[in-house]
C-alpha cells in the first residue's frame, strides 16, 4: 500500500502533530483526541462559505444572517451590579478600511501592527484602485461596521481580541445610527492577516476549549503529513456508488474547495461510518448463523399444526408468511436469528407460540424472555391460555416466584416445556434439559454482543432465537440496531379494527372525559354481557414500581368518589400475581367498569369491551409506550376514544402528543420518535452504533445506509474472514473497538 491508513494514524500520538506542543497535547487527549487518526476524525460542525455571507455594508435589518468580519475593537463595562456588557466593533475582512477624514479620503490598515502606511487619496475610487493594485486579491470597499453586544458574557473579551476573524449569526438592527447585533452566535474562524486558502472555512466543535481556528491549523498540518490516505474499501464497491476516494473525502471535508466538493466528501465519510458498522454486522451474522451449529427441528410432529388449526380465527397472510419463514429457519441445521416486527395488535403472540411449539413438538424446550418481571408475568398471562388445551406444560420463573426451586428443577429435568421469565433466565445459567428455542421480547434493547453471550451459553447446538419488537422501528434503525438479524414483518392487521379517536386534553376537559366513561359504561357491548369499559392509566413514576403503585392507589381512591355509580378496580405492578390475574378477570368479565392501572397493562392485555382510555400525565410517557397503551383499545367494539391528559412544558413532549393525535400508524410514530429524540438516544450505550456515527444520520442518510449494507453483506459473503481485505478488517477491528472484539477471536 502506498499511503497511510487510518488504522496506522490511530497509532500515531497526537503530540507528533506540528503545533501540538506544551499544554495542547494533554488538552486534546482530555477531549478524546489522542492520535492523529482521531484528530482527522474531529470533523467540522459546519462550514462557513465566505462568498455566501452577507457583506456587513448590506446586512438587512431584522433578518437572521451570517456575516464574517474582523474584530476591530472590543470593550466591556459594568453599568450596574450583575450586568456586564461587552461590545465589539466588527468590520469586513479586508486589510484596509477606506474612510472620509478631514484631510481627505484615507485608507487605514486594519492590522495596525502590520507596518502598512495610512494613505490619503482624492477620492474613494482612487483609494480603492490603489489598494486593489497594491494588495492583489483583496477587495477594498467603503465599509461599515457592525456593533455586537453581549450581555453577561465577560469571556467574550478574551475570546475575541482585536484582529480575530469571526462568523456571527443573528439579527441586526439599526440603533442610534449604528448597525447592531445582540448576542449573536459566534464562531471564531481565526486570526486576520493569517492568510487562508479557500473561501469555505470549517468551524470545529470545541475540543477542551481549543478554538476552532487552532484545530483547523493542527488538522491542516496533520493532513499535510499524512496524505495520501489509503483506501481500505475496494474500488468495485466505491465506483458503482460514485464515491470519492478516502483521501479526497477526508481532506475535502475539512477543507472543501466548493460546496459540491463538501457534499461529495461528506457522502463518502457517511458511507464509511455505515459501511464499517454493516461489515461488523455481516461478520456477526456469519459467525452466529452460518458458522454455528443449530438444531434441525422437525416440522411434522403435529403439535404446532394442531395449535394453529384450533385457533378461533384464520391467520392473516402476513402471519402465514412469517410462520413459514420461522419454520424454514427452525428446520435448518443453522440457528435461527430472526427479528419479528409488527405493530400493536398485528398478532405476534400467535406467531411466537407457533415457533415455541415447533420446538416443543420435537422434544425441546422453549423460553420466553421479557425485560422486566412485570412484563414476564404479563406474557405468561397472555400465552398460557393459548396452549392450555394442548397439554403443554408452562411455567413462570421470576425471582419472587414462590415455587422457584421446584420450577428450576422441572426446567432441568424437562418436565416444563415452555418457561417464561426475564433475561436472567438464560444469562444466569438456569439449566435447561434441552433448550431449543428462545423468544425474546425486545422492549428494551438487547445488544449484538448480548445475543452472542446468549449463544455462547452451554456447549451443545445453539437454540433458535426469535426476537420480537413490541413496537415497530423504522427500517433504517432496525438495519443498524438489528443488522445481524433476518427480519420478518407482520404488515397486515387481523381484521378491520374499530377506529380510535385520540384527543389531547387538559384538566378543564376532565368532566367531559368522565362523562364519556359513564356514557360508555351504559352502552351495551354487543354479545358480551354488560357495558363498555375504560382504562385510566396513572402517571409514570420512573424507576420505582413502589411509588408508581402508590400513585395508582391514590388515584383509585379518588376515582371511586368520582364514579360513585360505577365499579372501579385497580391493577399495579406491586400486586401479587394472583391478585393481578383476578383484577384482569374481573375487568374482562363484567365485574368492573373502570380499571385504574399502571403501565403493567402495556402488553398482552386484550379486553374486547374496552373502548375508553384516559392516560394521565401523558407527557411523561415515551411515544412508543403511549402507542402500546393505546393498542389496548380497539380490540372488538367501537368507536373508541383515547384521551391524553397533559400540560406539557417541553417542546419535545408537545411533539410527542401531537404525533399521537396525528396518526395511529406505529411505523410513522416510530420514525417521528427517532426524529424527535435523535439517533443518539436510541442506541444502547455499549452497542456498536452509538459513538461510531459522527456524521451519519440514519434517517437522512437512509439511501447511503441501504447501499452500505448491501455492499458489506456481499463482500462478507464472498470473503467471510476478510482475508482478502486486510485493511478493511483492521479498520473495523480498531475503529469499532471492544464492541466487536468477539468477532476477531477465534
Q: Does 476 bind ligand ADP (CB under 6 A)?
A: no
Task: Name which of 506, 459, 464 is nearest 486 in CA terms.
Answer: 464
Q: Does 169 bind Mg ion (CB under 5 A)?
A: no
Task: Name which of 369, 573, 321, 391 is nearest 468 in CA terms.
Answer: 369
**309-316: long-range contacts, CB 8 A cutoff, minimum separation 24:** 310/389, 310/390, 311/350, 313/494, 313/495, 315/347, 315/350, 316/347, 316/490, 316/492, 316/493, 316/494
Residue 155 near which of ligand ADP, Mg ion, none (CB within 5-8 Å, type-dependent): none
Measured CA distances, 147 to 89, 91, 152, 486, 541 (Å): 5, 9, 16, 60, 50
Is the distance from CB of 614 to CB of 643 less than 8 angstroms? yes
Measured CA distances, 51 to 68, 204, 257, 495, 715 (Å): 10, 19, 12, 59, 43
Distance CA 280, CA 38 (A): 20
Residue 495 near which of ligand ADP, Mg ion, none (CB within 5-8 Å, type-dependent): ligand ADP
Question: Which CB atom, from 66 or from 319, has the smaller least distance to ligand ADP?
Answer: 319
Among 5, 212, 316, 365, binds ligand ADP (CB under 6 A): 316
Task: Name which of 364, 367, 369, 368 is nearest 434 in CA terms.
Answer: 364
Interface characters, 296-335, with Mg ion (x: CB under 5 A): ----------------------------------------
Please report which residue ranges of 539-576 form alpha helices under DSSP H. Answer: 545-562
Distance CA 152, CA 589 (A): 65
Q: How far is the CB of 707 from Mg ion (least distance, A)?
A: 35
Residues 631-650 within binding reach of ligand ADP (CB under 6 A): 631
Interface characters, 581-620, with ligand ADP (x: CB under 6 A): -------------------------x--------------
Among 34, 212, 319, 422, binds ligand ADP (CB under 6 A): 319
Torsion of CA 239, 243, 245, 247, to 10 degrees: 180
Distance CA 532, CA 525 (A): 5
Q: Does 349 bind Mg ion (CB under 5 A)?
A: yes
Q: How far is the CB of 369 from Mg ion (least distance, A)?
A: 14
Q: Does 372 bind ligand ADP (CB under 6 A)?
A: no
Q: Does 690 bind Mg ion (CB under 5 A)?
A: no
Which residue stretch of 308-316, 559-567, 648-656, 658-666 sits at the interface with ligand ADP (rule: CB under 6 A)?
308-316
Which residue stretch of 349-357, 400-408, 531-539, 667-675 sits at the interface with Mg ion (rule: CB under 5 A)?
349-357
Residue 719 near which of ligand ADP, Mg ion, none (CB within 5-8 Å, type-dependent): none
Question: Which CB atom, from 344 or from 707, has the smaller least distance to ligand ADP?
Answer: 344
Residue 342 near which of ligand ADP, Mg ion, none (CB within 5-8 Å, type-dependent): ligand ADP
Q: How far is the CB of 723 from ligand ADP (least distance, A)?
A: 43
Please report which residue ranges of 31-155 form alpha helices under DSSP H. Answer: 36-40, 124-134
Question: Which CB atom, from 349 or from 663, has the smaller least distance to ligand ADP?
Answer: 349
Q: Does 350 bind ligand ADP (CB under 6 A)?
A: yes
C-alpha radius of gyration, the chain, whole number? 33
Distance CA 504, CA 514 (A): 15
Cell matching residue 573: 405492578
Distance CA 537, CA 642 (A): 11
Which residue stretch of 320-328, 345-353, 356-364, 526-534 sits at the interface with Mg ion (rule: CB under 5 A)?
345-353
**Residue length, the chain?**
746
Among 144, 363, 494, 638, binds ligand ADP (CB under 6 A): 494
Q: How far is the CB of 382 from ligand ADP (least distance, A)?
A: 7
Residue 727 near which of ligand ADP, Mg ion, none (CB within 5-8 Å, type-dependent): none
Among 346, 476, 488, 599, binds ligand ADP (CB under 6 A): 346
Is the distance from CB of 165 to CB of 51 less than 8 angstroms? no
Measured CA distances, 599 to 375, 550, 571, 615 (Å): 10, 13, 9, 10
Which residue stretch of 156-164, 346-354, 434-442, 641-649 sits at the interface with ligand ADP (rule: CB under 6 A)?
346-354
Question: Which CB atom, from 41 or from 473, has the smaller least distance to ligand ADP?
Answer: 473
* Residue 352 backbone phi and psi in degrees, to 5: -60, -40
Which residue stretch of 313-321, 472-480, 506-514, 666-674 sits at the interface with ligand ADP (rule: CB under 6 A)?
313-321
Question: Which CB atom, from 260 or from 317, has the smaller least distance to ligand ADP?
Answer: 317
Q: Does 349 bind ligand ADP (CB under 6 A)?
A: yes
Distance CA 90, CA 34 (A): 36
Interface characters, 553-592, with Mg ion (x: CB under 5 A): ----------------------------------------
Residue 606 near which of ligand ADP, Mg ion, none (CB within 5-8 Å, type-dependent): ligand ADP
DSSP per position, 41-72: T---SEEEETTTSPPGGGPPTTSEEEEEEEEE
Burial tier of 75 (Cβ tally within 10 Å: 0-12, 13-18, 19+): exposed
Among 108, 315, 528, 702, binds ligand ADP (CB under 6 A): 315
DSSP per position, 585-654: HHHHTTT-SEEEE-GGGGSS---TTEEEEEETTGGGS-HHHHHHHHTTS-SSSS-EEEEEE----SHHHH
Biggest alpha carbon–alpha carbon distance for the chain: 108
Q: How far is the CB of 392 from ligand ADP (least distance, A)?
A: 17
Question: Which CB atom, from 44 or from 347, has the smaller least distance to ligand ADP?
Answer: 347
Question: Which CB atom, from 317 or from 431, has the smaller least distance to ligand ADP?
Answer: 317
CA 213, 216, 221: angle at the middle one, nearest 5? 135
Q: Is the dihedral of CA 548, 553, 554, 558 positive or negative?
A: positive
Residue 346 near which of Mg ion, ligand ADP, none (CB within 5-8 Å, type-dependent): ligand ADP
Residue 190 forms beta bridges with which residues?
165
Residue 366 near which of ligand ADP, Mg ion, none (CB within 5-8 Å, type-dependent): none
Q: How far is the CB of 495 from ligand ADP (least distance, A)?
A: 5
Which residue stretch of 67-75, 345-353, 366-374, 571-579 sits at the interface with ligand ADP (rule: CB under 6 A)?
345-353
Interface characters, 258-297, with Mg ion (x: CB under 5 A): ----------------------------------------
Interface contacts to ligand ADP, rule CB under 6 A: 313, 315-316, 319, 342, 344-350, 494-495, 606, 631
Residues that bind Mg ion (CB under 5 A): 349, 604
Amino acid at each position: 500500500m502506498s499511503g497511510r491508513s487510518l488504522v496506522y494514524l490511530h497509532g500515531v500520538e497526537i503530540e507528533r502533530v506540528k503545533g501540538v506542543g506544551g499544554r495542547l497535547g494533554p488538552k486534546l487527549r482530555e477531549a478524546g483526541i489522542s492520535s492523529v487518526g482521531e484528530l482527522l476524525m474531529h470533523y467540522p460542525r459546519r462550514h462557513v462559505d465566505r462568498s455566501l455571507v452577507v457583506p456587513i455594508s448590506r446586512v438587512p435589518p431584522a433578518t437572521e444572517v451570517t456575516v464574517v468580519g474582523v474584530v476591530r475593537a472590543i470593550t466591556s463595562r459594568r453599568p450596574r451590579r450583575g450586568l456586564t456588557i461587552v461590545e465589539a466593533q466588527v468590520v469586513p475582512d479586508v486589510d484596509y478600511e477606506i474612510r472620509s477624514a478631514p484631510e481627505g479620503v484615507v485608507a487605514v490598515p486594519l492590522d495596525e501592527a502590520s507596518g502598512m502606511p495610512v494613505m490619503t487619496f482624492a477620492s474613494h475610487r482612487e483609494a480603492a484602485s490603489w489598494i486593489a493594485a497594491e494588495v492583489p486579491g483583496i477587495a477594498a470597499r467603503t465599509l461599515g461596521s457592525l456593533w455586537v453586544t453581549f450581555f453577561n458574557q465577560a469571556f467574550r473579551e478574551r475570546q475575541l481580541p482585536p484582529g480575530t476573524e469571526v462568523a456571527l449569526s443573528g439579527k441586526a438592527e439599526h440603533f442610534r445610527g449604528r448597525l447592531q447585533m445582540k448576542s449573536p452566535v459566534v464562531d471564531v474562524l481565526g486570526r486576520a492577516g493569517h492568510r487562508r486558502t479557500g473561501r469555505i472555512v470549517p468551524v470545529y466543535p470545541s475540543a477542551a476549549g481549543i478554538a476552532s481556528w487552532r484545530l483547523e491549523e493542527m488538522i491542516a498540518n496533520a493532513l499535510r503529513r499524512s496524505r495520501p490516505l489509503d483506501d481500505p474499501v475496494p474500488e468495485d464497491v466505491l465506483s458503482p456508488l460514485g464515491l470519492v476516494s478516502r483521501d479526497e473525502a477526508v481532506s475535502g471535508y475539512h477543507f472543501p474547495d466548493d460546496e459540491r466538493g463538501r457534499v461529495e466528501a461528506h457522502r463518502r465519510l457517511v458511507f464509511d461510518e455505515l459501511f464499517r458498522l454493516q461489515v461488523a454486522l455481516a461478520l456477526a451474522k456469519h459467525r452466529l448463523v452460518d458458522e454455528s451449529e443449530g438444531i434441525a427441528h422437525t416440522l411434522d410432529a403435529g403439535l404446532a399444526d394442531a395449535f394453529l388449526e384450533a385457533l378461533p380465527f384464520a391467520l392473516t397472510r402476513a402471519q402465514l408468511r412469517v410462520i413459514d419463514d420461522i419454520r424454514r429457519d427452525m428446520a435448518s441445521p443453522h440457528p435461527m436469528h430472526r427479528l419479528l416486527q409488527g405493530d400493536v395488535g398485528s398478532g405476534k403472540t400467535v406467531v411466537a407460540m407457533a415457533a415455541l411449539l415447533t420446538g416443543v413438538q420435537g422434544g425441546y424446550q422453549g423460553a420466553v424472555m421479557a425485560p422486566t418481571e412485570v412484563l414476564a408475568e404479563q406474557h405468561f398471562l397472555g400465552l398460557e391460555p393459548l396452549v392450555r388445551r394442548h397439554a403443554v406444560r408452562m411455567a413462570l420463573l421470576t425471582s419472587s416466584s414462590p415455587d422457584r426451586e421446584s420450577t428450576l428443577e422441572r426446567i432441568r429435568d424437562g418436565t416444563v416445556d415452555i418457561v417464561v421469565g426475564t433475561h436472567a433466565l438464560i444469562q444466569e445459567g438456569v439449566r435447561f434439559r434441552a433448550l431449543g428455542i428462545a423468544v425474546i421480547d425486545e422492549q428494551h434493547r438487547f445488544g449484538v454482543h448480548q445475543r452472542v453471550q446468549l449463544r455462547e451459553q452451554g456447549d451443545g447446538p445453539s437454540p433458535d432465537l426469535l426476537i420480537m419488537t413490541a413496537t415497530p422501528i423504522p427500517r433504517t434503525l432496525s438495519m443498524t440496531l438489528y443488522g445481524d438479524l433476518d427480519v420478518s414483518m407482520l404488515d397486515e392487521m387481523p381484521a378491520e379494527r374499530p377506529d380510535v379517536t385520540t384527543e389531547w386534553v387538559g384538566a378543564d376537559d376532565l368532566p367531559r372525559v368522565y362523562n364519556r366513561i359513564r356514557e360508555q359504561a351504559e352502552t351495551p357491548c354487543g354479545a358480551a354481557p354488560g357495558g363498555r369499559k375504560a382504562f385510566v392509566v396513572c402517571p409514570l413514576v420512573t424507576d420505582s414500581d413502589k411509588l408508581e403503585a402508590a400513585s395508582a392507589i391514590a388515584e383509585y381512591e379518588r376515582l371511586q368518589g368520582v364514579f360513585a355509580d360505577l365499579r372501579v378496580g385497580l391493577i399495579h405492578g406491586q400486586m401479587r400475581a394472583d391478585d393481578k390475574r383476578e383484577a384482569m378477570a374481573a375487568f374482562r368479565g363484567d365485574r368492573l367498569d373502570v380499571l385504574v392501572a399502571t403501565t403493567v397493562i402495556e402488553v398482552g392485555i386484550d379486553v374486547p369491551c374496552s373502548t375508553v382510555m384516559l392516560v394521565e400525565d401523558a407527557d411523561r410517557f415515551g411515544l412508543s409506550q403511549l402507542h402500546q397503551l393505546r393498542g389496548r383499545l380497539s380490540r372488538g367494539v367501537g368507536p373508541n376514544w383515547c384521551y391524553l391528559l397533559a400540560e406539557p412544558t417541553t417542546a419535545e413532549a408537545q411533539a410527542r402528543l401531537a404525533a399521537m393525535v396525528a396518526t395511529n400508524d406505529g411505523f410513522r410514530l416510530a420514525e417521528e420518535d427517532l426524529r424527535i429524540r435523535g439517533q443518539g438516544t436510541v442506541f444502547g450505550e455499549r452497542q456498536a452504533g452509538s459513538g461510531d456515527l459522527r456524521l451519519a444520520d440514519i434517517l437522512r442518510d437512509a439511501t447511503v445506509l441501504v447501499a452500505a449494507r448491501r455492499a458489506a453483506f456481499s463482500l462478507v459473503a464472498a470473503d467471510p474472514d476478510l482475508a482478502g481485505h486486510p485493511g478493511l478488517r483492521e479498520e473495523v477491528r480498531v475503529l469499532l473497538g471492544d464492541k466487536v472484539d468477539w468477532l476477531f477471536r477465534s
